[in-house]
Structure 1
Amino acid sequence: MKLPAHLSHSSRETLERCAKAYFLTRVARAPQAPALWLVGGSAVHEATEHYDLMSVVGNGDVFPAGQVWEVYFNNQLTEAREKEPNENKWRRSKTEGIEDWRRMGLQFVQSYIDWRERSPWEIWTTPDGEPAIELDVSGKLPGCPVEIKAFLDRVFWDPVMKKLVILDLKSGKRPPKTAAQFETYAALLKVKYDVDVHMGVPFMNRKATLGKPFDLSGVDVKEIGAVYGAAWDQILKGDFKANGFPRECYPLCDVQAACAAQNGPLAHLYDPASPGYQPQF
């Protein structure tokens, strides 16, 4: 059984929510059912990244939003169909089908562009001269022996407050409940560039505006590292229990077909808790 070589905010969050789901996705490598909201959200991220890359070289005003969106959305659909050709097996909202996302996604991209055009914030440039767009700040934190992978959607410089702001695009309906994601990013940014971040904030594409900001001025690198160190200890111990609330698994979990707690048809291939377990890794 080969353990992952790194952690991330999303993987630690999965471990905390349901350690069994972490095991099935990150260790057993069970098949993951595509989700239409992830297809659309990924395309929104790619299209807005394209816009910002054009904007930093002065070409943002000629950005062909509709064409760019169609390319990225269709590419994401193709990737999802390669994983699971039967679209009826995809996880999706009952009210948001593919054509709904084709329309909504472009609106989400345009909402970000409109906000960028009226916002005074500027894309931050790292000490290495790199624009902070999908910025890789992966690295190690004190107290955690493995690398923590992290790519920041954007880091902005606020010329009014004279401070850095981490922004994360959210194409879903719910804003983040805690500052955990932003705190991880702030700690890694501090280690990599020795800079302090003032605030973390989501951009809620559906509402075309910023969500609730999180104060990051008190982030302690060692405390964040200790959180990830504890998660890694749990992984090393092989503590991969299911969360105990099967009804809460749908539609969030994408490996239910491989989970014994859900009586998944593939559980005997990937879940050691399944009778007749025959590992595939």
Structure 2
Amino acid sequence: MSIETQPRSVSQTEQYEKCAHRFYLQRVEKVTPRPAAWSHHGTAFHSAAEAFELSGRAMGADEVVTLFSERYSALVNKSLDKEPNTDLWLSATGTGGEDIERRYVLGQQQTGRYVEWAAANPTETYRTPDGTPAVEQYFMVELGGVRVRGFIDQLVQDADGTVRPRDWKTGSMKSKFQLETYGVAVRKLYGVEVNKADWYLAKTGRLSRPVALDKVTEEAVGERYAAMDAGVKRGDFPASPGFSCRFCDVSHACSFKQ
């Protein structure tokens, strides 16, 4: 499927809006991205949290931490096979090798803390009409005339009957647009009331403040997808060089980087 016709996502849209040339290099030219331990950290944490929630929170902390450790190690080793020189890995702090080791320990701590937090904060996961617990819940909807797809980390059933999208974050970057998309998608798919969403912040071991979604409309969210989709189909990929170039995984192939 070509980039012009494939479904869109939150990550595609935000990447295009921040730097369309990065979108072009990664998704059109297929430039091999530089690896980053932070990516594997996030993926492994999500895998562990997903398994824990799908177990009905019956898994023990040691089991969940072990799952994180194994998943993280497998992802890192796969990337090391492709790029063994850790000096070429992206890292916000220290060398790539130091970041790999640091995040192994940090991820274990954060995963264990999630289990502790869950014990003190009972949560009812929403079940879709077919009875499936909505963890890593896939969706595909049309917004602004554009097909949009993604996965929602968890849908929580609040006491008042409303449904709350929840996103698990190991990093510091949070996207309200992501939660807005989730809210609109859940309303369209399941016909339920969605008034707020939140993030579980692994850095602090607690929930964020709720993000209000009651005034977020399908039309407003769809406009951003429509604008992005139109730009891609026009072949419009302007560069936006700046501070973010430091964290761009395809900057090695970019002639505009700063």
Q: CA deviation at 1:63?
A: 6.2
CA contact under 8 A between 1:52 and 1:133: conserved in structure 2?
yes
Indicate how the Cα distance of structure 1 residues 2 and 62 shifts in structure 2: closer, same or farther if over 3 A, else same.
Answer: closer
Q: Secondary structure at the match of 1:260?
A: coil
For the 8 Å contact 2:62–2:112, the answer to whether it is kept is no
Task: Figure out how many residues of one structure are paired with residues of the other and give that number.
Answer: 254
Is the contact made by 2:7 and 2:149 (CA closer than 8 Å) also made in structure 1? yes
Alignment correspondent of 1:90: 89
Partner residue in 1 for 2:193: 196
Q: Is the 8 A contact 1:44 1:69 kept in 2?
A: yes
Q: CA deviation at 1:61?
A: 4.4
SS at match of 2:131: coil
Aligned to 1:135: 137
Following superposition, the deviation at residue 20 of structure 1 comes to 0.3
Residue of structure 1 equivalent to 2:213: 216
Q: How big is the shift at 1:221?
A: 1.4
CA distance in 2, matches of 1:62, 1:45: 15
Amino acid of the structure 1 residue aligned with 2:25 = L
CA distance in 2 between partners of 1:55 and 1:244 (Å): 45
Aligned to 2:149: 149
Q: Which moved more, 1:110-119 or 1:32-41?
A: 110-119
Task: Structure 1: give runs of 5+ residues left out of the alignment.
Answer: 264-281
**Does the aligned pair in 2 maintain the 1:175–1:211 contact within 8 Å?**
no
**CA distance 1:86–1:144, change in 2 (3 Å):** farther
Superimposed CA distance per residue, residues 241-264 of structure 1 (whole angstroms, 9 cap, x where no aligned partner): 10043x43102x11011112139x
Q: Residue by residue, what CA displacement relative to the aligned partner does 1:163-202 show, whole Å, maximum 9, x if unpaired?
A: 2111111111x252x5211001111112221222121111
Change (3 A) 1:66 1:112: closer
TM-score (norm 1): 0.84
The CA distance in 1 between the partners of 2:246 and 2:208, in whole Å, is 26
Work out whether residues 122 and 156 of structure 1, in 8 Å CA contact, stay in contact via their aligned partners in 2: yes
Q: Which runs of 5+ in 2 are unaligned?
A: none
AA aligned opposite 2:65? G
- Cα distance, 1:87 vs structure 2: 1.8
Which residue identity is paired with 1:249?
C
Amino acid in structure 2 at the alignment position of 1:259: C
2:192 maps to a residue whose letter is V
Larger radius of gyration: 1
| Letter aligned with residue 230 of structure 1 | A
Alignment of 1:27-176 (within 5 A): 27-55=28-56, 59-61=58-60, 64-95=63-94, 97-141=99-143, 143-145=144-146, 147-159=147-159, 161-172=160-171, 174-176=172-174
Q: Is the 8 A contact 2:134 2:154 kept in 1?
A: yes
Correspondence 1:238 to 2:238? no
Distance 1:195 1:231 in 2: 28
Deviation at 1:53, TM superposition (A): 1.3
1:19 deviates by: 0.5
Matched AA of 2:142: K
Structure 1 residue 152, shift from structure 2 partner: 0.3
Kept in 2: contact 1:51–1:63 (CA 8 A) = no
Identical-pair percentage: 28
Alpha carbons 2:53, 2:135 under 8 Å: kept: yes
Structure 1 stretches of at least 4 aligned residues deviating more than 6 Å after TM superposition:
none
**What displacement does 1:18 show?**
0.3
Following TM superposition, by how much is the alpha carbon of 1:238 offset from its aligned partner in structure 2, in angstroms? Answer: 1.2
1:249 aligned to 2:251? no
Counterpart code for 1:187: V
Distance 2:61 2:22 in 1: 44
- Against the structure 1 CA distance between its residues 66 and 3, is the aligned structure 2 distance closer, same or farther, given a 3 Å change threshold? closer
Q: What are the Cα deviations for residues 87-107 of structure 1, in whole angstroms up to 9, with x where unaligned?
A: 221111325622211111011
Q: C-alpha displacement at 1:43, in angstroms?
A: 0.6
C-alpha displacement of 1:22 = 0.7
Q: Distance in 2 between matches of 1:126 and 1:135?
A: 9
